[in-house]
Chain A
Amino acid sequence: MSETADRVQKIVVEHLGVEADKVTQEASFIDDLGADSLDIVELVMAFEEEFGVEIPDDAAEKITTVGDATKYIEEHKG
């Protein structure tokens, strides 16, 4: 796992209170990890804080899996 993926996983585990092994790159926040739309808003805020990136609303709407988040962050972090 890349360093980014590792840190993304930690944030998801902390925010959603799920087991780390369920937080695969393929996992869907809503379908697999029990998140709702507000949880995703909160996760996006946490990613922005952790990685110093800005994730605009239209980009955030396209982030549905853990892998989507990891990919976006790796492409946009400074």
Chain B
Amino acid sequence: MRRVVVTGLGLVTPLGGDVETTWSNLIAGKSGAGKITRFDASNQKAQIACEVKDKDHEYGFDPNKRLDHKVQRQVDPFIIYGIDAAGQAIEDAGLEDMDEATKLRTGVSIGSGIGGLPGIESESIVLHERGPGRVSPHFVHGRLINLISGQVSIKYGLMGPNHAVVTACSTGAHSIGDAARMIALDDADIMLAGGAESTVNPLGVAGFAQARALNMSMNDTPEKASRPYDKNRDGFVMGEGAGVVVLEEYEHAKARGAKIYAEVVGYGLSGDAYHVTAPHPEGKGAELAMRMALKKSGLEACDIDYVNAHGTSTMADTIELAAVKRVLGDDLCGASMSSTKSAIGHLLGGAGAVEAIFCILAIRDQIVPPTLNLEDPDEGTEGVDLVPLTAKKREVKAALNNSFGFGGTNASLIVKKVD
């Protein structure tokens, strides 16, 4: 099987409009949470979110860097974030000027969990109030989930596989895993892979709140609300943004002298076969996905140095931890495990890709990001390094990233330093 490495990264997150700003803020222990500013949320049960900041903010996002005005007007924010993150990854990989032969062998797999919910909401109001003749001709293709992959392919002339995963909060991890397989199976030499989400709109926030998934008890202390593994955790905080990586066949990357961040060595997938929103109480599906990824990687459990947990700040955190313990050992064989959702919230379909990038950066910089707000660890966390409150310098050669989604869909990725 052909080997697959990561040669480019791109991020749009509540902590920054690019990779280095996001990463330095994450390592510094900053929180991206705040009161919702995108709309008046005063009548919502959940009034907080981790929003991508406007361009004039200290770590805001400027959509004008890589998208022209016309595209910005026509598409939902998740597509804007995805196109920009893909552009960053292409630039980081030094692939801005691909020749025609390379473009034929380069594909895109950038998905989303929900897609253009803000635009669906606003346009349905137009339909109701002003009639079908006022619905935008760009409505459909400005909201469709596969339209990041479509837009990126058109913008850069990429004619390889064009794919978009939709597996709720596992989307980002599945996107990278599936794309890595496309390269391994010789469907492409290069794949842009990742996920994006933006559902900080009235319908999105209300929907997750009604499903009892969001934190609704800490509206006055937004930065304290996402607190994975803490006894007082009470639901996730919605995030938004995108993460995209450039995956490349190893020999192809070496031949062009590309910077190689890490190798994608393991990928596991499973279904819980249990409940639409709740995880299996024993975490069986999570365990299956991790075991499959570990087996594929050829690594031993004790080779894993860092686990970026799904850890959404819900009751499910300790179910995941118990499953990780069964796979890696009661003390995780010395691995550190943190949930970066404590800082950036839950990016839903973007989460797995953004968190895979954090695993890659942990390997690059030999430091693991913290679990913020972990002040009073819940039962079952004893003897495990959950990296409370502050980042930690340590050796990181291999890292595991977990993502679990509604419907009981699980994905685990393992990335490893290339010697």
Contact = CB atoms under 8 A, between A and B. Distances in A.
Interface of A: 15-17, 34, 38-39, 41-42, 45
A17 B68 contact: yes
B137 A38 contact: yes
Q: Which 10 A-B pairs have the closest CB atoms?
A: A17-B69, A41-B137, A38-B137, A17-B70, A42-B137, A17-B68, A16-B70, A38-B138, A42-B136, A42-B138
Nearest to A38: B137
A1 to B, nearest CB: 23
A41 B139 CA distance: 12
Contacts of A17: 68-70, 73
Interface of B: 68-70, 73, 133-134, 136-138
Contacts of B134: 45
Contacts of B73: 15, 17
B interface majority secondary structure: helix
Contacts of A42: 136-138
Contacts of B133: 45
A interface majority secondary structure: helix
Contacts of A15: 70, 73
Nearest to B135: A45
Nearest to A13: B69
Contacts of A38: 137-138
A3 B73 CA distance: 26
Contacts of A41: 137
13 contacts: A15-B73, A16-B70, A17-B68, A17-B69, A17-B70, A17-B73, A38-B137, A39-B70, A42-B136, A42-B137, A45-B133, A45-B134, A45-B137
Nearest to A35: B70
A46 to B, nearest CB: 10
Nearest to A37: B137
A16 B68 CA distance: 9
Given A38-B138, A41-B137, 13 more contacts: A15-B70, A15-B73, A17-B68, A17-B69, A17-B70, A34-B70, A38-B137, A39-B70, A42-B136, A42-B138, A45-B133, A45-B136, A45-B137
Contacts of A16: 70
Contacts of A34: 70
B137 to A, nearest CB: 4
A51 B73 CA distance: 21
Contacts of A45: 133-134, 136-137
Contacts of A39: 70
A15 B138 CA distance: 12
A27 to B, nearest CB: 16
Contacts of B137: 38, 41-42, 45
